[in-house]
Structure 1
Amino acid sequence: MEKLLFCLVFVLCLSGTLQKKGKRKKNDSEPLLPVPRTFLGDIETQPPLVLNGTQAPISTLLLLSNSTAGYLKGTLSTRVIPIIYMFVVAFGVPANVAILCTLATKIRKVSSAILYCSLAVSDLFLLLSLFFKAHYHLHGNHWELGEAACRVVTACFYGNLYCSAQTLACISIKRYLAVVHPFMYKSLPKRMCTAGVSLAVWGVFGAAVIPELLVQQTYLLSELGRITCHDVLPLYYSSHNFLLYYNLLLTIFGLLVPLVVTVVCYARIICELNQSHLDWTMYIKASSLVFVIFLVCFTPAGFLHFLHYMQLSLNGTESLYVYFNVAVCLCCLHACLDPFLFIFMSKSAGSTPFFRPFRSKTVSISI
């Protein structure tokens, strides 16, 4: 499977490189370079601008598509998306804080608490970045907080999408082992395993955010008179070249692979429980919620992300970026659904004969 994915990425990179030969601007010394999940722009040489009373060397971009300007000025990006973001923040922050407080005071199963704590922390970082992104969109897609803040918010936003998806996949694997291979699961050093897995997930998060922190994210659009954050990046800019293929790999291993793992684990869990004569209704509901979160939230963003990168690598167009933004907006709803996942998990852990020895006044999650 890994060799197949590697070959696929290699073919895409090779085909994109071959097709871009001969596609050059008037200045033949500068090659046509792909860009990451953004609209395309071209750098316009301009002296440092005076912003807020200080000089800031902000690069100016010329838009290469009228649809880009329409999206940046349209109701979808300036009203609909930020309203959804604010709703997610208003509901998700107190819910995830409450889950963290519960995990800190009432959980008796440390191994499971590690994963749920990791998921809640990841969701809170994502929600924090959504607050600043909503501010950006409500101000007409104009970023007023500086280059450094834009890089941090962008890195936090996309990095925690991958982190949450992988954590949900790890929870699915843990439940799969407990149901389908209970004796193997019982013999495992669960605290050590879950701690190691959580560290690995956050390691992927760190790898995912480093590139976003290294490249410039804010550019002034001369046609619109506003500074964008990550939405428009230059076509001729060598430091952005590697992001296309880097983020393509992150999309595959950070979103699509966890989706496949979750679907497989979910199917095996349901098949195993259906063969039992015990009442596993609550357990099935808890497992189904993990599947629904991935199906509704992560699947559209994952596939559109992948198709967007393929489109960029093959013909250099960005027509799918608007749909990708809508899908990412929908993806952020998982930060509101994850607390319900915790509730269902705790109920399923205490509602079947297998978990009866753990019943008490405290919440007892065993898987």
Structure 2
Amino acid sequence: MADLVQGLFICLMAVQSIQHDGHRTRTKTNISTGVIPKTFKGRMYKPNHASQSPTMLYPSTKPWLYVNQEDPVTAYTTGVISTWVIPWSYILAMLVGIPSNAYILAFLRVRLRAKSMSTVVLYLNLALSDLLLLLSLALRVHYHFNENNWIFGEISCRLITALFYGNVYCSAQTIACISLKRYLAVVRPFLYRRMTKTTLAVGTCLVVWLLFAAAIVPELLVRQSYEVTQLGVTTCHDVLPLEEKSHSLLVLYRLMLVCVGFIVPFLICFYAHVVVVYHLGQSGCDWRPFIRVSTLVFIIFVVCFLPSGILHIAHYIRLFSSGDDRLYGYYRLAVCLCCFHSCLDPFLCLLISKTAVSELQFISLREIPQRPAIRT
């Protein structure tokens, strides 16, 4: 009987070894042909193979990921970009952005009865989104200073990841709504005067937050933290398994977020800015102060958001075509610029609102010759 049990145990060990080797072979094949998420790639290893799909909210096991020492994730995890540049950038953005956005929220709240209430509502929405984004950076600062080792658990990793990316998209979409409002006020004044501006602004903010909810829910349903055995750390969102269906199915969702969250707002802002500047330049009034400030705001938006959007798309293309994930580290660095935009928004808001030359205030444009007065 003892010999029989020993023989069965040896057979089970052999079968498990064969399955593990075959699993690694399939993973290597799928790197170039399979559907790949946006983060660094890692191969799945679990001590218990009974359950191959990650548990949704309270996983019973702690999965491991295997990466090669030559993979870009090793240089990123131990390099100066992720352990020094990114966390100090987050700290600077938090020190400037949290108090300034809190001040803007208090400043705009007392102006809710102003005639330009629709503009106040949009800027309140932008300040709230920026503040939530900056507050979500606190745990990520500790994560990067701790050599990219997440110690706060899986649930907090999912929440921080969802809040971070969701509010980045929310900020960009709100800025696009403000640009579109300015476009209607200048280029389509008769249509703009007939609109119920406050109701439309509130409805627009609700739509933006619905998109925000749609953006974060999938991130909350999949595991975000994995232990990387070769590096001796537990990463949060930075390394995800390629072979898991729950992660590979998110590719189309994330590509859609890039378009809705970055590309569409950028195109709206670009078109609105060019057309508004052209129409103001054709008028008989001196709008140069407003044009200069508006151009500065647009340039800052482009510098802060465009690099991350381009690197995001380029990273997807390289992953899908060749399995190369080296651009992810640069993408994470470019995302820091989005955080700087969140801390600059309050100052840009005050700068535009105080552009009173030619009796001009932000989106409360005075009469243009041969046109009715434009009010918000």
TM-score (norm 2): 0.83
**Partner Cα separation in structure 2 for residue 355 and residue 43 of structure 1:** 57
Q: Which runs of 4+ in 1 moved over 6 A?
A: none
The reply to whether residue 62 of structure 1 matches residue 69 of structure 2 is: no
Amino acid at match of 1:58: K
CA contact (8 A) 1:252 1:306 kept: no
Does the residue aligned with 1:332 lie in a helix, a strand or coil?
helix
Provide the residue aligned with 2:320 in structure 1.
Answer: 313
Provide the residue aligned with 1:36 in structure 2.
Answer: 37
CA contact (8 A) 2:65 2:226 kept: yes
**Partner Cα separation in structure 1 for residue 322 and residue 346 of structure 2:** 41
CA contact (8 A) 2:150 2:236 kept: yes
Shift of 1:354: 6.2
Provide the residue aligned with 1:240 in structure 2.
Answer: 247
Task: Give CA deviations for 1:5-31 in whole Å, capped at 9, x if unaligned.
Answer: xxxxxxxxxxxxxxxxxxx95248x96
The reply to whether residue 260 of structure 1 matches residue 267 of structure 2 is: yes
Q: 1:171 aligns with which of 178, 181, 197?
A: 178
**Partner Cα separation in structure 2 for residue 84 and residue 279 of structure 1:** 39
Q: 1:345 aligns with which of 332, 340, 352?
A: 352
CA contact (8 A) 2:176 2:269 kept: yes
The reply to whether residue 132 of structure 1 matches residue 136 of structure 2 is: no
**Partner Cα separation in structure 2 for residue 151 and residue 268 of structure 1:** 41
Task: Give CA deviations for 1:59-107 in whole Å, capped at 9, x if unaligned.
Answer: 1110144321111011110011100000000100000000000011135
Percent same amino acid at aligned positions?
Answer: 43
Q: Against the structure 1 CA distance between its residues 27 and 157, is the aligned structure 2 distance closer, same or farther, given a 3 Å change threshold?
A: same
Q: 1:117 aligns with which of 115, 124, 141?
A: 124
Task: Give CA deviations for 1:124-145 in whole Å, capped at 9, x if unaligned.
Answer: 1100111111111011100011
CA contact (8 A) 1:208 1:250 kept: yes
CA contact (8 A) 1:282 1:344 kept: no
> Aligned residue pairs: how many?
331
Task: Give CA deviations for 1:303-361 in whole Å, capped at 9, x if unaligned.
Answer: 1111111222222221211111111112211011111221123123x4444669x89xx
**Partner Cα separation in structure 2 for residue 223 and residue 299 of structure 1:** 34
**Partner Cα separation in structure 2 for residue 214 and residue 61 of structure 1:** 19
Provide the residue aligned with 2:3 in structure 1.
Answer: none
CA contact (8 A) 1:285 1:344 kept: no
CA contact (8 A) 1:42 1:61 kept: yes
Stretch moving more, 167-176 or 332-341: 332-341
CA contact (8 A) 1:39 1:68 kept: yes
Shift of 1:241: 1.2
CA contact (8 A) 1:103 1:113 kept: yes
CA contact (8 A) 2:37 2:242 kept: no
Provide the residue aligned with 1:26 in structure 2.
Answer: 25
Provide the residue aligned with 1:98 in structure 2.
Answer: 103
Provide the residue aligned with 1:295 in structure 2.
Answer: 302
Q: CA RMSD in A?
A: 2.5
- Give 1:175-194 correspondences, 5 Å limit: 175-194=182-201
**Partner Cα separation in structure 2 for residue 355 and residue 227 of structure 1:** 51
- Asked which structure has the greater CA Rg, the reply is 2
- Give 1:212-291 correspondences, 5 Å limit: 212-291=219-298
**Partner Cα separation in structure 1 for residue 25 and residue 321 of structure 2:** 21
TM-score (norm 1): 0.85
Provide the residue aligned with 2:16 in structure 1.
Answer: none
**Partner Cα separation in structure 2 for residue 27 and residue 334 of structure 1:** 43
Stretch moving more, 334-343 or 138-147: 334-343
Q: 1:76 aligns with which of 69, 81, 96?
A: 81
The reply to whether residue 141 of structure 1 matches residue 148 of structure 2 is: yes
**Partner Cα separation in structure 2 for residue 347 and residue 178 of structure 1:** 18
Does the residue aligned with 2:36 lie in a helix, a strand or coil?
coil
**Partner Cα separation in structure 2 for residue 313 and residue 355 of structure 1:** 48
- Segments of structure 2 that go 5 or more residues without pairing to the other structure are 1-22, 50-58, 366-374
CA contact (8 A) 1:127 1:335 kept: yes
Provide the residue aligned with 2:7 in structure 1.
Answer: none
Amino acid at match of 1:318: D
Does the residue aligned with 1:106 lie in a helix, a strand or coil?
coil
Amino acid at match of 1:63: V
CA contact (8 A) 2:45 2:66 kept: yes
CA contact (8 A) 1:282 1:347 kept: no
**Partner Cα separation in structure 2 for residue 151 and residue 45 of structure 1:** 20
